[in-house]
A and B are shown apart, each in its own frame.
Chain A
Amino acid sequence: DAKTTQPNSMESNEEEPVHLPCNHSTISGTDYIHWYRQLPSQGPEYVIHGLTSNVNNRMASLAIAEDRKSSTLILHRATLRDAAVYYCILRDDGVGDDKIIFGKGTRLHILP
């Protein structure tokens, strides 16, 4: 399975943009890039996903490199409530059993 690499932790100031990187150099042509986040004492929640083009939704933006070997989750204006662990995972669109593997993620600290 293609794997992802993320920094263990990052810090950012409140009300500033945050760029969370993810490397996936062995990504295949049918792999989608998904992001989840896990707030304290909760299960993970879906944030966004994409294949090739950049994607935006109400929670975040996803920027995907042209060669698809890396991507960046962008929080446009971080708040204290964005402090969480962020997971970048790959999902193969061609696999029926959809075994979904998470890594260790990036712990994001927001400084007031």
Chain B
Amino acid sequence: KAGVTQTPRYLIKTRGQQVTLSCSPISGHRSVSWYQQTPGQGLQFLFEYFSETQRNKGNFPGRFSGRQFSNSRSEMNVSTLELGDSALYLCASSPLSGGAVGELFFGEGSRLTVL
């Protein structure tokens, strides 16, 4: 069974640009979450989608947005990039629906560098 796939793995952007990251969850998983990982702040929750709806949102500015498609694939977008947006962006999928707790399966991340 294929794991969570994130593309691109590495990318370099300049301040003011925008970026779109893609995530393909494990087949059958309907919940997709996004996290930002930086050395200073660690892993921080961005948002979570289930059945194309954003169910949960973290404390990030409106420049960070996301969406989920009917096939559960998800994208996140960061507009007007800032130097501080340089980070590893991790996507995770979960097989459980509803309110049940469950294991998150993480991808290897997209490493964004903003110059």
Q: Do A and B come from one complex?
A: no
Residues of A bordering B, CB below 8 Å: none
Interface residues of B (CB under 8 A from A): none
